[in-house]
Amino acid sequence: MPDKIFREILDRLPEGVSVIDRDMRIVWVNKTLREKGFDIEGCKGRRCHVVYKRNEKVCENCPAVRVFETGKQVRVLEKGADGRDYEVTAIPIKAKGAKVVKGAKGAKDGSVDRVIEIVREAETDLVSKADEIADQKCYSFIEDAEDIIFMIGADHKILSLNRRAAGMFGKKSRTAIIGRTVYDLFPKKIAESYAGEIDRVFETGESLLEESKSVFGKEQRLLRTSLNPVRDLSGKVTAVMGISRDITERSRIAKKLKQSYELLNNITDPASDAVFSKDNKRRYTFVNKAFEDMVGVKSARIIGKRPEKVFPPEIAREVRKADDDCFSGKTHDRIYKLNLNGKERYLHNVQNPIYGPEREINGVAGVVRDVTEEKRSEEVLKQSEERFRNIIEHISELYYIHDTKHRLTYVSPQSKKILGYSPEEMKIKWTELVTDNPMNRKGLKQTEKAIKTGRKQDNYTLELRRKDGRTIIVEVDESPIKDEKGKVIGITGALRDITERKKAEEALKKEKEWSERILDSAPSMMIGLGENSEILLFNKAAEMITGYKAKEVMGKSWIELFIPKKQRKEMHGVWDKVVKGKLELHHYENPVITKKGEEKLIYWSNTFLSQNSKFRMIFSIGQDVTEKRKAAEALKKNEEKFRLLFERMTQGIVYQDKDGRITSANPAAERVLGLTLSQMQGRTSVDPEWKAIHEDGSDYPGKDHPSMVALRTGRKVQDKLMGVFNPKINDHVWIKINAIPQFRKGEKKPCGVFATFEDITEQKNAEQKLRESEEKFRQLSESSPIGIYYADAKGEVLYTNPRWQKITGLTLKESLGSGWADAIHPEDRKRVKSIWRNCISNGVEGETTFRFLSSKGRTIWVNTTAVPVKDERGNIIAFVGTNQDITEQRNAEQELKESEERYRTIFNSANDVIILIDRKGFITDVNKKFFEYSGMSEKRVIGKHLKELKSLIPKRSLPVLIKNFMKRIAGADVHAYEVELYGKNRKISTFEVNAVPIRSEGKITGDLAVLRDITERKEKEEELRQAYKDLKKVDQLKSDILRDTTHELKTPISKIKMMADIAEEAIGQVKERDIKTDSLKKAKDNLKKISSNSSSFLKLISNIVNLSKVQNLENIKKEDVRLKPMVERLIKEYSSYTSEKVSLKSAVSEKCRFRANPELINLLIRNLLENAVKFTKKGRISIGCSSSKSHIVLRIKDTGPGISKKNISEIFQPFTQGDRSTQGLGIGLATCRRIAELHDGSIDVESSPGKGSEFKVRLPKR
């Protein structure tokens, strides 16, 4: 049954229209047939030949029957029951969702659901003309078609073919093909197949549709061919028309798509996680085997379905929420507790949006993991945890629990004490704790074995790294955790720190090794002698001193082997007394004979070892004192040398006895102090004649003199500064004194003291000058814009200027000494101190960058320098340095670094190929996508010229790339263009190239090219173009039918109106008195009505044609439009039609000018004005216009009845009216909206019932 709108149109047609079902029964007739007596109720269900009173024989060639058979429109001439000629047009109505079935014959596959049959009385000239027009259109359609179209006779000869078909055979002239048989054009096997199918169409009169391979020249192509019978008016098949479509490329793409899905299945099917994807309508497009197993449904019942068709409502609701997150651009990550297939499961769902090339969301991809076992493990562990938590958290060991995948689920608080990590940190960072110590592998394997076998393994040790970086050794005791079924669900373990124990064990081991080595490494002889003086122990030193190896002497008699012959007898007697305990010889000297016969003097220290008061061994340590004795002789000789040195030293030396009296002094002391030895002898340090002073000029009391302090305390006194009066120069000299107390053996009180001193008067004078210089330096530094500090030779800071203090946030007091180091950022402190120590130790300059951390938590980056200050002798006396605040510079550098990292991340994560080229054409950088596409290595690309990339750039593409590159380098604009590139395995893809020049300081230094793979897009565009062509053909066919129909309707209606007007005019000439009958008056009134209704009908047809025209328009020709004269002409025209109660006025000024199509704008205003005139019975209609820089707004306002809110949203739809009480189809406003859209404008209305309406049309000026 036609829909409501279509039924209204059919009801207005003058032709008879009926709808026939597959059983050839009438299901609906239009108003024309009903007015002729064909009652719809009486027609329903009856056979059409009965209704139309046709002969049954005629029904054999009935057009409706042929449409059901062929699926194509049929038009025939036939005699009616009244003897008149009727033109019958049968139009197929396709069944909803009907598809072409491979091998189907005609339309008997059920693709045609019903037939519309239009019957009208034939007009011979009209039919001929229509046939002629149809032939012309058909020829044009066939000739320009992308499909191969040909006509074949019963003898298998080609009768005709289109340009596309001739091109496939490689023939420029069709005369070379027409008249030849299929056997002449195709290989024998293919020709026989074609001939058989053509014969079947001739025999059955039914269409055939099949796919087959054909050979054109040397190329094999895959074609989808439809063979259709061509009938004459009698219905006889006279020829076969073939339409073939080349689907070779589509088949190849389909095959590749299938391979891609197979590859995806091969990748994801072994996975234990469920993988899926959906399109933008939330329909499943892919699921793997794990997904099927999880939901218990095969993929065939899932693909193409929305979640609510696959899952129960409660699950589908959660899935819908997850999809909502993704389609709003978010990642969805959540664990659900669901009842799936009658089982309670925990599912972890992670899904993300799939983005298209324009960042539009095209679908969703996700992974679902069954974490039920993990959750159950957590529950079992939680019960166990509650039971033992109090115990575990109060013992020294660290207890932990992890699942079978080594994910920690519990860690006791002892982790903080043992490893420095909190329990929560341990769960995240535990993998960072295990060092690469080889012993760790063995221990971890034991854990795996416990999980696999379910049996407890032996304890093992691990080396772990604490949070502070220290490594510790721990002992691990682990046991498997099992569920009720005995399945291992995790591991519980205790970890104890055995680092100290290990260290102790290691120490014991080392101590043993050392005790074994002591004998060998000791410089003294170590021997052990038994009861009969047999040698039991003989170390390396003994070997070196005696010349014997241990193996040569072990077990032999010491006395017989090493004691000189003349002393052996005496030595035997002594040895006997020693063994019996009658004599103790702890220390003694005796000579020993070496292997070479040399005699060496050995000093022995003996230890007697016994057990249960019984002699075991004498352990003796012997020192070779041969050289020592020789040295003692030499000592006497050297004393004279030392005396000479004492007298010639440049450093003053004074010796004082225990009472502090000077007894001796060297010449240097006499020179420095300005006194002779005789003048000094007997004087003490407390003598006021020394006139000793401190640095500040105050007296230096005698009791505090270094010599007196050393005598009093018994300790050294070093580096004391003192000013002493020199009578020779009559001035003080400055000396630096060291006092060393001297002791006699066994006495604790000093017996005297040596005082050494050096004259530093010149140094003090230099220091004074330095202090004066420092004052100048201080004044300069106070006003310096950079931080300045001053430190002594030991590195102790003595001064910082105000700028230094402001930069660091420290006060002067806080910065002095080593206090400044406390403000260094903890991460930099160790490094900075190391550099500072290096400067001090080696006297070198230093420079570094580090951070200060102020008391307010602010971080300040500084660049620091340190320069040593040297005296005239080159000795370092101080360091001076600067601190410069470079925080802003560092922040800028950090931002630049982050920017570069972001650029590199974007550069390498881009889905397009990106290439950087210098101005000479050499490649400087490419992104990750380049390597993925080309399969080339970095070595083969970076530094290469474009011309060298022959494995990437085909010959036909290289000139295009080079030409456009040179243009951009020259500064010319180059729009996006397309090139072909080789990929992996020499596969060619099409790329769109967008490139921009790279500039530095205004000069072009290179080129950045972005290449987007548009191969798939090109294929899709080609498909869209073909589909668009097909749609255009269908749309054109609709327009042709509409145009022909309206033309055929206009002709008789125009004639009717004309005849009615003539008749009315003729009656009007009859004088009133001559009109004698009411019938004549009634005839005159009826003629007026006929004329009026004819005009309305003609206007309706015109409106339909106008709507059809504007709907088919895509591009319009624009010119300058002056709105004022156009509106004034229309107002003048419509003023004659309006009631005297309605005023029609224009307020359009000359300023309302714009570019548009004047015919369409005229039609738009006419339709709106006509609409206002139709509905406004009294009041006013006004037309106004306002203008802005870019747009004009046209307003047409009336005081009509207005439009309800309900109808406002529908009035711009075709065949919709705001008021059903008025005539018309509701086409005018739909036409207006389409005209506004063609001008990139808009139309809307403001209205309310009883208050009139105002239509606003907004159009661009250009």
Instruction: Tell me: do 773 and 754 sit in the same domain.
Output: no
Torsion, Cα 71 73 77 80, to 10 degrees, reads 70
Instruction: Tell me: do 487 and 553 sit in the same domain.
Output: no
**Mean pLDDT, to the nearest integer, of 183-212?**
83
3-state DSSP helix/strand/coil % of the chain, to nearest 5: 40, 30, 30
Residue 516 falls within a domain, yes or no?
Answer: no
DSSP 404: T
Rounded distance between C-alpha atoms, residue 1102 and residue 1092, angstroms:
15
Which helix or strand (DSSP H or E) is residue 493 part of?
Answer: strand 488-497
Q: Are 569 and 559 in contact (CB under 8 A)?
A: no
* CB proximity list for 1170: less than 8 A, separation 6 or greater: 1134, 1228
Domain boundary among 759, 778, 801: 759
Which ranges of 613-759 would DSSP assign to H, the alpha helix? 626-648, 667-673, 677-680, 706-713
253 or 571: which carries more pLDDT confidence?
Answer: 571
DSSP 768: H
Copy the structure tokens of residue 532. 């009969």
Rounded distance between C-alpha atoms, residue 757 and residue 655, angstroms:
12
Q: Which among 242-251, 459-468, 774-783 has the top mean pLDDT? A: 459-468
DSSP 187: -
Residue 1096 falls within a domain, yes or no?
Answer: no
Torsion, Cα 181 187 188 191, to 10 degrees, reads -50
CATH at 1145: 3.30.565.10
Residue 679 falls within a domain, yes or no?
Answer: yes
Percentage with pLDDT > 90 across the chain: 9
Residue 263 falls within a domain, yes or no?
Answer: no
Task: Please list, residue by residue across 958-991, b when 16 or more beta carbons sit within 10 angstroms of its beta carbon and e when fewer do.
Answer: beebeebbeebbeeeebeeeebebbeeeeeebbb
**Mean pLDDT, to the nearest integer, of 1179-1188?**
90
What would the 3-class secondary structure string for 440-486 be? Answer: HHHHHHHHHHHHHHCCCCCCEEEEEECCCCCEEEEEEEEEEEECCCC
Q: Which is it for strands 1153-1156 and 1179-1187: parallel, antiparallel or unpaired?
A: unpaired
Instruction: Tell me: do 737 and 815 sit in the same domain.
Output: no
Q: Are 94 and 113 in contact (CB under 8 A)?
A: yes
Q: Count CA atoms closer than 13 A to 1252's CA, side-chain side.
A: 15
Instruction: Please state, as a whole number, how many other Cβ atoms lie within 10 Å of the Cβ of residue 243.
Output: 18
Rounded distance between C-alpha atoms, residue 1146 and residue 1131, angstroms:
8
DSSP 843: T
Instruction: Tell me: do 495 and 615 sit in the same domain.
Output: no
Question: Is the pLDDT assigned to residue 45 strictly greater than 80?
Answer: no
Instruction: Tell me: do 1251 and 1128 sit in the same domain.
Output: yes
Domain boundary among 370, 401, 420: 370
Torsion angles phi and psi, residue 718, rounded to 5? -125, 150
Instruction: Tell me: do 1246 and 1128 sit in the same domain.
Output: yes
Instruction: Tell me: do 317 and 427 sit in the same domain.
Output: no
Q: Using a CB cutoff of 8 Å and minimum separation of 24, what contacts does 1038-1043 make?
A: 1039/1108, 1039/1112, 1040/137, 1042/1104, 1042/1105, 1042/1108, 1043/1105, 1043/1108
Copy the structure tokens of residue 419. 């490893």
Torsion angles phi and psi, residue 1167, rounded to 5? -65, -45
Beta strands in 886-967 (DSSP E): 913-918, 923-926
Beta strands in 111-248 (DSSP E): 112-121, 148-152, 158-161, 208-216, 219-231, 237-246
DSSP 817: B
Q: Are 1023 and 973 in contact (CB under 8 A)?
A: no
Instruction: Tell me: do 937 and 988 sit in the same domain.
Output: yes
pLDDT of residue 283: 92
**Mean pLDDT, to the nearest integer, of 1087-1097?**
61
Which helix or strand (DSSP H or E) is residue 624 part of?
Answer: strand 614-624
Copy the structure tokens of residue 486. 């005995």
Instruction: Tell me: do 738 and 854 sit in the same domain.
Output: no
Q: Are 961 and 953 in contact (CB under 8 A)?
A: yes
Is pTM beyond 0.75 here? no
Per residue in 1127-1156, pLDDT (tens digit) is: 888 888 888 767 777 888 888 988 889 999
Q: Are 1196 and 1158 in contact (CB under 8 A)?
A: no
Torsion angles phi and psi, residue 278, rounded to 5? -135, 155
Rounded distance between C-alpha atoms, residue 1126 and residue 1150, angstroms:
11
Q: Are 804 and 787 in contact (CB under 8 A)?
A: yes
Rounded distance between C-alpha atoms, residue 1064 and residue 1083, angstroms:
9
DSSP string covering 316-377? HHHHHHHHHHHHTT--EEEEEEEEETTEEEEEEEEEEEEE-TTS-EEEEEEEEEE-HHHHHH
Q: What integer best gives the mean pLDDT of the chain? A: 80
Beta strands in 793-922 (DSSP E): 797-800, 846-853, 859-870, 876-885, 913-918
Instruction: Please state, as a whole number, how many other Cβ atoms lie within 10 Å of the Cβ of residue 672.
Output: 22
* CB proximity list for 149: less than 8 A, separation 6 or greater: 142, 161, 162, 164, 165, 241, 242, 243, 244
Rounded distance between C-alpha atoms, residue 598 and residue 592, angstroms:
8
Rounded distance between C-alpha atoms, residue 410 and residue 112, angstroms:
70
pLDDT of residue 80: 67
Rounded distance between C-alpha atoms, residue 682 and residue 679, angstroms:
8
CATH at 603: 3.30.450.20
Residue 1202 falls within a domain, yes or no?
Answer: yes
pLDDT of residue 1139: 73
Beta strands in 541-598 (DSSP E): 587-593
Residues spanned by the domain of 1255: 1113-1260
Question: Is the pLDDT assigned to residue 509 strictly greater than 60?
Answer: yes
Confidence category of residue 1091, pLDDT binned at 50, 70, 90? low
Copy the structure tokens of residue 470. 């220290």
Rounded distance between C-alpha atoms, residue 255 and residue 139, angstroms:
36
Q: How many distinct structural domains can be found in the chain?
A: 9
* CB proximity list for 936: less than 8 A, separation 6 or greater: 930, 951, 952
3 state SS of 236: coil
- Amino acid (one-letter) located at 813: K
Per residue in 772-787, pLDDT (tens digit) is: 776 776 676 676 778 8
* CB proximity list for 137: less than 8 A, separation 6 or greater: 1040
Rounded distance between C-alpha atoms, residue 662 and residue 711, angstroms:
13
Question: Is the pLDDT assigned to residue 10 strictly greater than 80?
Answer: no
Least confident of 33-37, 90-94, 605-609: 33-37
Rounded distance between C-alpha atoms, residue 479 and residue 381, angstroms:
13
Residue 859 falls within a domain, yes or no?
Answer: yes
Instruction: Tell me: do 702 and 798 sit in the same domain.
Output: no
Q: Are 1127 and 1135 in contact (CB under 8 A)?
A: no
3 state SS of 1109: helix
Copy the structure tokens of residue 223. 């074609």
**Mean pLDDT, to the nearest integer, of 696-704?**
90
Domain boundary among 125, 155, 173: 125
**Mean pLDDT, to the nearest integer, of 545-556?**
91
pLDDT of residue 130: 41
Instruction: Please state, as a whole number, how many other Cβ atoms lie within 10 Å of the Cβ of residue 148.
Output: 24
686 or 1091: which carries more pLDDT confidence?
Answer: 686
Closest CA to 221 of 119, 295, 147: 147
Q: Using a CB cutoff of 8 Å and minimum separation of 24, what contacts does 34-43 make?
A: 43/18
Instruction: Tell me: do 1252 and 1234 sit in the same domain.
Output: yes
Copy the structure tokens of residue 385. 């945890």
DSSP 1219: -
Q: Are 964 and 977 in contact (CB under 8 A)?
A: yes
Instruction: Tell me: do 110 and 194 sit in the same domain.
Output: no
Per residue in 945-971, pLDDT (tens digit) is: 888 888 888 988 889 888 888 988 888
Number of residues assigned to the chain: 1262
90, β-bridge pairs: 74, 117
Per residue in 396-446, pLDDT (tens digit) is: 788 888 888 888 888 888 888 888 888 888 877 676 788 888 888 888 888
Q: Which among 180-194, 323-337, 783-797 has the top mean pLDDT? A: 323-337
Rounded distance between C-alpha atoms, residue 487 and residue 376, angstroms:
12
Residue 1079 falls within a domain, yes or no?
Answer: no
Question: Is the pLDDT assigned to residue 1185 strictly greater than 90?
Answer: yes
Residue 1068 falls within a domain, yes or no?
Answer: no
Question: Is the pLDDT assigned to residue 604 strictly greater than 60?
Answer: yes
Question: Is the pLDDT assigned to residue 905 strictly greater than 60?
Answer: yes
**CA 941, chain centre distance (Å):** 25
Per residue in 250-298, pLDDT (tens digit) is: 777 667 656 656 655 665 556 678 888 899 889 998 888 888 888 888 8
37 or 592: which carries more pLDDT confidence?
Answer: 592
